[in-house]
Structure 1
Amino acid sequence: MSMSSAKMFIYGSVLITGGTSLAYFIIQKTHSSSLYYKLALEQLQNHPEAQEALGPPVNIHHLKLIGNENFVDIADAKLKIPVSGSKSEGHLCVHSTRSGPFQRWHLNEVFLELKDGQQIPVFNLSGENGDEVKKE
Structure 2
Amino acid sequence: MLQRISYETLQRAAIYGAALSVSGCFLLYYQIQRNLASGPYFTEAVAAVRANKEACALLGEPVRVLALRLGDKGNRVTTEQAQVFIPVRGSKSKGQIRSYASVRNGKWELDKVVLELKNRPEKSINILDTHGLN
Taking structure 2 as the reference length, the TM-score comes to 0.89
Choose the corresponding residue for 1:110, options 95, 109, 113: 113
Identity level (%): 32
Distance 2:33 2:72 in 1: 15
User: The residue matched to 2:128 in structure 1 has which SS?
Assistant: strand
Unpaired runs of at least 5, structure 1: 130-136
Q: Match for 2:67 among 62, 67, 90?
A: 62
Cα deviation digits, residues 14-48 of structure 1 (max 9, x gap): 11111011101111110111111111111111111
Who is 1:3 aligned against?
8
Determine which of 71, 76, 81 is the counterpart of 1:71.
76
Q: What SS class does the counterpart of residue 105 from structure 1 fall into?
A: strand
1:53 corresponds to which of 53, 58, 81 = 58
Structure 1 CA distance for aligned equivalents of residues 34 and 114 of structure 2: 22
Q: Which runs of 5+ in 2 are unaligned?
A: 1-5
Does the residue aligned with 1:56 lie in a helix, a strand or coil? Answer: coil
Per the TM alignment, residue 127 of structure 1 is displaced from its structure 2 partner at its CA by 3.9
Structure 2 counterparts to residues 1-136 of structure 1, below 5 A: 2-99=7-104, 103-115=106-118, 116-117=120-121, 118-129=123-134
> What is the number of residues matched between the two proteins?
127
CA RMSD of aligned residues (A): 1.5
> Which protein has the larger Cα radius of gyration, Structure 1 or Structure 2?
2
Q: TM-score, structure 1 length as denominator?
A: 0.88
State the secondary structure of the residue aligned to 1:38: helix
Question: Displacement of 1:67 after TM fit?
Answer: 3.3
